[in-house]
Structure 1
Amino acid sequence: MRRMVMASLRPLGAVAFSEAGSGLEAIERLALGAVELIILDLNMPDMHGVEVLEFVRGHHAYRELPVVVLTTRGDEASRAEALAAGATRYLTKPFAPQNLHECVRELLDAA
């Protein structure tokens, strides 16, 4: 699924992307800096996506960082939990690559 997400973002051009295989790896990569947007699944090894989101929102340097949740969880409770934790957008899988592309472009342009 990560490959499909990365492929759908290639048309953004000169934007650099990095991927993480787990919640802990995502936090480690965030600490390296130069992150302008996070695309986050709720179902990840090591940590639930909401835990990663709470970590991000709990640190002053990342409070305004756009976070797109992209997950298979289409239920209203999961959506409400992620948005309450600070998700900027909530998209469900399967997704239309164009929708993800437009969402990311809009958030990067607004930053």
Structure 2
Amino acid sequence: MPEVLVVDDSKVMREMVVACLRPYPDSRFTQASSGLEAIEQLSLKSYDLLVLDLNMPDIGGIEVVEFVRGQDHLRSLPIIIVTTRGDEASRERALSAGASLFMTKPFTPDSIQGAARSLLEKSPSQDAKPQDEASRG
């Protein structure tokens, strides 16, 4: 049963992401409204997927990605960045920090479901190569 942590300072956006991913079989969702809360949640239990915004009031998404990649037990956690920042610098920074995939808002339910499915169903032995959702075709 996939455990998904959805992090965004907008409650509406968190609920939208959860609604889009709810059709994924047997998923369970935890929500966090800040980067600090995300780090707290990640220290309390294991997750199979992290969906993360970049723009947050306390600890930003890039810093959360860097935290995750710096922890041995979290290093392979797939991370989807979902953000309003569509500029190349933000995309490059997120992927360089260790995000698995970068998507811009607005997104379609199919695009985020496909992204989640591809990351959740990836074999653990495969290398997590960063991707830009726009380049997925």
Aligned-residue identity in percent = 54
Distance in structure 1 (CA, Å) of the matches to 2:83 and 2:121: 23
**RMSD over equivalenced CA pairs, Å:** 0.8
Distance in structure 2 (CA, Å) of the matches to 1:107 and 1:13: 14
Instruction: Give 5+ residue unaligned stretches, structure 2.
Output: 1-12, 125-137
TM-score (norm 1): 0.97
TM-score (norm 2): 0.79
**2:78 aligns to what?**
66
**2:133 aligns to what?**
none
Report the secondary structure of 1:26's partner residue.
helix
Distance in structure 2 (CA, Å) of the matches to 1:83 and 1:34: 22
Contact 1:54/1:85 (CA < 8 Å) preserved in 2? yes
Distance in structure 2 (CA, Å) of the matches to 1:65 and 1:35: 7
Instruction: Give 5+ residue unaligned stretches, structure 1.
Output: none
Q: 1:45 Cα shift?
A: 2.1
Distance in structure 2 (CA, Å) of the matches to 1:13 and 1:99: 16
Distance in structure 1 (CA, Å) of the matches to 2:29 and 2:57: 20
Q: 1:32 Cα shift?
A: 1.1
1:3-82 matches, within 5 Å, as: 3-82=15-94
Q: 1:37 Cα shift?
A: 0.8
Distance in structure 2 (CA, Å) of the matches to 1:106 and 1:86: 17
Task: Identify the structure with the greater helix proportion.
Answer: 1
AA aligned opposite 1:47: I
Distance in structure 2 (CA, Å) of the matches to 1:42 and 1:34: 21
**1:104 aligns to what?**
116
Distance in structure 2 (CA, Å) of the matches to 1:95 and 1:12: 17
Contact 1:41/1:69 (CA < 8 Å) preserved in 2? yes
- Deviating above 6 A after TM superposition, structure 1's stretches of 4 or more consecutive aligned residues are none
